[in-house]
Structure 1
Amino acid sequence: GMAAEMIDELPVLAVAATQIAGKSVIAGAGELRVKESNRQAAMEAGLAAMGADIVTQDDGWVITGPRRLEGARVDSAGDHRIAMALAVAGLIADGKTEIEGAECVEISYPGFFDHLEYLC
């Protein structure tokens, strides 16, 4: 299905869903659990720590928004896609966000944080 075709984009889509009014259901994404990390659990933990209303289901999430995100210390789980998605969440959050293991983004996007800072 469509979720499987865009599996790498789902973490940042989950961030966007925190800002959309109503319930967003991301389903058909069981593969999230078997990528570089358990992306399903890592995104739930990170976004919940920031104040998102996110609930894990068997193969995805239910995210209810909009929710104001608050800066928090979150864990990338050593996964570049999680680190990048949580960095985007940090941009829209109030306060400071610290991402443990953020250097893992160098695997797929060297200079990511420099580019992000430039855009902001």
Structure 2
Amino acid sequence: RITVENPRVVAGEPVGDIRLAAAPLKAVCVGGDTVVRMIDEFPVFAVAACFASGVTEVRDAEELRYKETDRISVLCGELKALGVRVTERRDGFTIEGGRLAGGACDARGDHRLAMSLALAGLSAPSPVTVHHAEILNESFPDFAGQLKGLGATVR
């Protein structure tokens, strides 16, 4: 259950305050125009999909291969390192939800990936270590402090 409050436009982008209530996550299929609207959110979306019931599919997202890194390949590889059943495709990926074991992964110089993998550690049954996570200080200097506030151990 997600609601957006105080919707507005900032620098040409729609923004708002998000209010969440706990509920089980269900797998979805994302493609077409939706991909364009959430192109930078795929790392955190993929982490959420790890905890959803069912198989989440992302298609029509080949553009992700041409960002700072090949986000499809990097994201799939790092999630596999954490025990996720993920299948890489030319234009996207599928994630079989319900499993994220923990382990070590690498942010690969991508601040969005660093934050997303760190968030995965909040719900993983074993610790998650994100190597080269210092990149996230560029976009969210207090991210480590916020994680600590949620009970994470940050070194």
- With normalisation by structure 1, the TM-score equals 0.92
- Using CA pairs under 8 Å that are at least 6 residues apart, name the structure with larger relative contact order, 1 or 2: 1
Higher normalized strand content (fraction of residues): 2
CA RMSD of aligned residues (A): 1.2
Structure 1: gaps (5+ residues): none
Task: Tell me, yes or no, if structure 1 residue 30 matches structure 2 residue 62.
Answer: yes
How many pairs were matched up?
Answer: 119
SS, match of residue 95 in structure 1: coil
Share of identical aligned residues, percent? 40
Conserved? CA contact 1:4–1:28, under 8 Å:
no
Larger Rg: 2
2:125 to 88, 94, 109: 94
In the aligned structure 2, how far is the partner of 1:30 from the partner of 1:92? Answer: 29
Task: Tell me, yes or no, if structure 1 residue 21 matches structure 2 residue 43.
Answer: no
Equivalent positions of 1:64-103 (< 5 A) are 64-67=96-99, 69-103=100-134
**Structure 1 runs, 4 residues or longer, greater than 4 Å off:** none
In the aligned structure 2, how far is the partner of 1:53 from the partner of 1:110? Answer: 31
Higher normalized helix content (fraction of residues): 1
In the aligned structure 2, how far is the partner of 1:104 from the partner of 1:87? Answer: 12
Task: Tell me, yes or no, if structure 1 residue 113 matches structure 2 residue 144.
Answer: yes
Structure 2: gaps (5+ residues): 1-32
